[in-house]
């Protein structure tokens, strides 16, 4: 798989805040996926993106497939405590790559 750079590595949220994270690649992708992993659980698919420029929402989550096909963004609006966890981006290369590449994850914790 290709190397994905996910940032930030970690972030603190305060209830009610909007937060963003992003993922970049050196190669073109034709699919971007965003997952969330809670402690002791497997990753859960949040949003799937298939077209450059696509903007897709899932409740308070919004993700975008970058125009260049080399990046994607995930926004969480009006954070709540259950948003804590690790968020992973994943991409599928172009044209017929069959192996998902994963970012290292963004750890979201609640600010005390």
Partner 1 sequence: NAGVTQTPKFQVLKTGQSMTLQCAQDMNHNSMYWYRQDPGMGLRLIYYSASEGTTDKGEVPNGYNVSRLNKREFSLRLESAAPSQTSVYFCASSIDYNEQFFGPGTRLTVL
Which residues of this chain interact with partner 1, rule CB under 8 A? 1, 31, 33, 35, 40-45, 48, 50, 88, 90, 92, 97-100, 102-105
- Cα–Cα distance, 10 to 2 (Å, whole number): 22
DSSP structure string for 77-103: -S--GGG-EEEEEEEEESSS--S-EE-
| Smallest separation, CB 97 to partner 1 (Å) | 8
Residue 52: CB minimum distance to partner 1, A: 16
CB of 107 to partner 1, least distance (A): 10
Looking at beta carbons only, is 52 or 100 nearer to partner 1?
100
């Amino acid at each position: 798989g290709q190397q994905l750079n996910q940032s930030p590595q970690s972030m603190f949220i305060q209830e009610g805040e909007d937060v963003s994270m992003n993922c970049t690649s050196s190669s073109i992708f034709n699919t971007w996926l965003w997952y969330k992993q809670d402690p002791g659980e497997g990753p859960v698919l949040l949003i799937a993106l298939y077209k450059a420029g696509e903007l897709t929402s899932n409740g308070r989550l919004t993700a975008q497939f970058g125009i260049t096909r080399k990046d994607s963004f995930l926004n969480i609006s009006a954070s709540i405590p259950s948003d804590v966890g690790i968020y992973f981006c994943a991409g599928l290369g172009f044209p017929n790559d069959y192996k998902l590449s994963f970012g290292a994850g963004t750890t979201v914790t609640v600010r005390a």
